[in-house]
A and B are shown apart, each in its own frame.
Chain A
Amino acid sequence: MPVPLLDVQHLTVVFDGVRSAAAAVNDLSFNIAAGETLGLVGESGSGKSVTAFSILRLLQPPGRVASGRVLFEGRDLLSLPEQEMRQVRGARISLIFQEPMTALNPVMRVGDQIAEAITVHERVARAQAWDRAAELLDAVHIPDARRRLRDYPHQLSGGMRQRVMIAIALACHPPLVIADEPTTALDVTIQAQVLDLLRELRARYDLALLLITHDFGVIAEMADRVAVMHNGWLVEEGPVRQILRAPAHDYTQRLLAAVPGTRMSGNGGPS
């Protein structure tokens, strides 16, 4: 069996309290192969975003990784010196956030933000970085990319901002992208466009995707495999068709039954 691109082993994350520590993620193990999309589903508080932050070592105190390993390209990210970790973030693994308005810098031109993502990791001149930024905006289908580089985030619509976020994430052609609820804040027609875009870019750049979402509809559209989290525990993992059609775990069954929409899958609605 080939070595997976990302191999999370027995990850436990705790939040230290005054007297005791609360576990947000318990003994979590999963892996992602190159080019594969793993959907990580769960409700609020299930630990899915904490997992993403732990992988990138962006967790803020009182949160901390208590045990486990995060193997990526043959190294354990959790034991890397911070200096080397910085070479991983953005360049080898990048992150797309839910809320593009808060994730983008409001007082910086879009072009500078994309160019910054490039110049942090590579020695290139500003003009060259801007050229590449224009190509990236083109790749995420923002019309008139050259001119748009000079815009500030508030001049863009929600869908466009999320495209800019994706452009930044792809700036250094990372093999793995973590997308944390990338379409949750968007209207359904815009969500459809962004998902189409992600699917296209995934094929074009051979991306592996860790897709964090609470929406089984998004999972069905995007994921190869699914991991279901509940209260910090991984309750079920498997190929997307198996999870959606024949969920084994009681929690997955309940979660799927709660999803409104009987049109296609035959899962029960809310009544």
Chain B
Amino acid sequence: MALLEVRSLVKHFVRRHGLWRPPSVVKAVDDVSFSIEEGEMFGLVGESGSGKSTTGRCILRLIEPTTGDVLFRGENVLQFSRARMRQARRDMQIVFQDPYSSLNPRMRAGDIVEEPLIIHKLGSKAERRARVAELFALVGLDQSHFMRFPHEFSGGQRQRIGIARALALSPALVIADEAVSALDVSIQAQVVRLMLELKDRLKLTYLFIAHDLRLVENICDRVAVMYLGKIVEMGNTHTLFSSPRHPYTRALLSAVPVLDPDAPRGRITLDPTSFDARAPLKEIGESHWAAV
């Protein structure tokens, strides 16, 4: 059984245009299905507005999906009561993109990491403090940083605090929503290395949401490519990157700059009329799916 299974997830946002004009519907997530096995690093890639972040947030019900099912260990979390959902979130945590806005500027680092333990009423004060110390060590922060405020940390350190907070409750699934996008490349490499280390050590499963294809190619086991709210291609990372089948995936991959100045630039421009936007995903090879 997959750890997480998303079935026909739909999220429509209704945009109102004033009193006299009819509202319009934005199909941010439009019938998305995928599943993630335990211990897997699953990449969800796409450009801005593709619906990848909305998908991540719908899974945690930070945004309520319009329709669909989200099965976590076989149970449909969309039918959970508020209290039950809060329990479930112990197992599903998120690391956000912006380490500047996702940490409370008025809380000390130690308190930020401790807060989930307090909310879930875990352990005594002393036990919680010991756990925070453990988490700090885990993400490579010094204990002397407990009393500091977020602004006293660099971007990379802040993201480590965000990761420590996400790991406080020992989740099984971590949703990393552009978790390293805002970081400089050398810091990004450190944080990614940390996330991979923690995955092995704590047996974590990741939903890694990103727009950086080079990064995803490097670290993910499987990848799904989103375009205008739909998954247009999904498969093993190597297969998908070496033989992309959907016109959008091809255009996207061809747009990534390569580090070789002499590499041939076979830029493929997407012709939206060249494919059927409503075509369903179908299996086109061994664990390789495309909407063609």
Collect the chain A residues with CB atoms within 8 Å of residue B262's CB: 241
Say yes or no: B270 contacts A258, CB within 8 Å: no
How distant is the Cα of A31 from the Cα of B189 in the complex, in angstroms?
32
Among listed B24-32, B62-70, B251-259, interface-contacting one: B251-259
Query: How near does chain A come to B183, taking the closest CB pair, in angstroms?
Result: 9
How distant is the Cα of A43 from the Cα of B270 in the complex, in angstroms?
32
Centre residue among A191, A223, A263, A269 by max chain B CB count within 10 A: A263
Collect the chain A residues with CB atoms within 8 Å of residue B211's CB: 187-188
How distant is the Cα of A43 from the Cα of B265 in the complex, in angstroms?
26
How distant is the Cα of A195 from the Cα of B254 in the complex, in angstroms?
13
Collect the chain B residues with CB atoms within 8 Å of residue A43's CB: 184-187
Query: Of B186, B213, B258, which is within 8 A of A265 by CB?
Result: B258
Instruction: Say yes or no for B22: interface residue by CB 8 A criterion.
Output: no
Collect the chain A residues with CB atoms within 8 Å of residue B219's CB: 260, 269-271
Centre residue among A190, A191, A216, A270 by max chain B CB count within 10 A: A270
How distant is the Cα of A208 from the Cα of B53 in the complex, in angstroms?
39
Collect the chain A residues with CB atoms within 8 Å of residue B218's CB: 260-262, 269-271
Kindly state the interface size class of chain B when it binds its partner.
35 or more
How distant is the Cα of A265 from the Cα of B258 in the complex, in angstroms?
8
Q: What is the chain A residue whose CB lies nearest that of B196? A: A271
Instruction: Say yes or no for B285: interface residue by CB 8 A criterion.
Output: no
Collect the chain A residues with CB atoms within 8 Å of residue B196's CB: 270-271
Instruction: Say yes or no for B14: interface residue by CB 8 A criterion.
Output: no
Instruction: Say yes or no for A196: interface residue by CB 8 A criterion.
Output: yes
A250-271 contacts to B (CB < 8 Å): 254-265, 267, 269-271
B205-264 contacts to A (CB < 8 Å): 211-215, 217-219, 241, 251-252, 254-263
Collect the chain B residues with CB atoms within 8 Å of residue A195's CB: 257
Instruction: Say yes or no for B148: interface residue by CB 8 A criterion.
Output: no
Say yes or no: B263 contacts A264, CB within 8 Å: yes
Say yes or no: A188 contacts B255, CB within 8 Å: yes
Query: How near does chain A come to B178, taking the closest CB pair, in angstroms?
Result: 13
Collect the chain A residues with CB atoms within 8 Å of residue B48's CB: 158, 187
How distant is the Cα of A146 from the Cα of B48 in the complex, in angstroms?
28
Instruction: Say yes or no for B198: interface residue by CB 8 A criterion.
Output: no
Given A214-B185, A221-B265, A258-B189, also A189-B255 (CB < 8 A):
yes
Instruction: Say yes or no for B193: interface residue by CB 8 A criterion.
Output: yes
Kindly state the interface size class of chain A when it binds its partner.
35 or more
Query: How near does chain B come to A209, taking the closest CB pair, in angstroms?
Result: 15
B26-76 contacts to A (CB < 8 Å): 47-48
Say yes or no: B217 contacts A263, CB within 8 Å: yes
**Interface SS of chain B: helix, strand, loop or mixed?**
helix
How distant is the Cα of A237 from the Cα of B59 in the complex, in angstroms?
48
Q: What is the chain B residue whose CB lies nearest that of A192? A: B255
Q: What is the chain A residue whose CB lies nearest that of B188? A: A258
A16-57 contacts to B (CB < 8 Å): 43-44
Centre residue among B212, B214, B260 by max chain A CB count within 10 A: B260
A46-82 contacts to B (CB < 8 Å): none
Instruction: Say yes or no for A137: interface residue by CB 8 A criterion.
Output: no
How distant is the Cα of A4 from the Cα of B218 in the complex, in angstroms?
41
How distant is the Cα of A128 from the Cα of B213 in the complex, in angstroms?
45
Given A271-B196, A271-B218, also A217-B184 (CB < 8 A):
no
Collect the chain A residues with CB atoms within 8 Å of residue B151's CB: none
Query: Of A189, A196, A214, A244, which is within 8 A of B259 by CB?
Result: A244
Collect the chain A residues with CB atoms within 8 Å of residue B88's CB: none
Given A196-B267, A255-B186, also A260-B259 (CB < 8 A):
no
Say yes or no: B217 contacts A189, CB within 8 Å: no
Collect the chain A residues with CB atoms within 8 Å of residue B267's CB: 192, 196
Instruction: Say yes or no for A95: interface residue by CB 8 A criterion.
Output: no
How distant is the Cα of A195 from the Cα of B192 in the complex, in angstroms?
28
Query: How near does chain A come to B115, taking the closest CB pair, in angstroms?
Result: 29
How distant is the Cα of A196 from the Cα of B219 in the complex, in angstroms?
29
Between-chain CB contacts (< 8 Å), 15 pairs = A191-B255, A191-B257, A192-B267, A216-B259, A217-B258, A240-B261, A244-B261, A258-B188, A259-B185, A260-B188, A260-B217, A261-B217, A263-B214, A264-B259, A264-B260
Other than the given A264-B259, A269-B218, A271-B219, 13 more pairs (CB < 8 A) read: A43-B184, A189-B255, A214-B184, A217-B256, A218-B257, A220-B258, A220-B263, A258-B188, A263-B217, A264-B263, A270-B188, A271-B193, A271-B218
The 10 nearest A-B residue pairs measured at CB: A217-B257, A261-B214, A192-B255, A258-B189, A265-B259, A187-B47, A43-B184, A270-B189, A260-B215, A269-B218
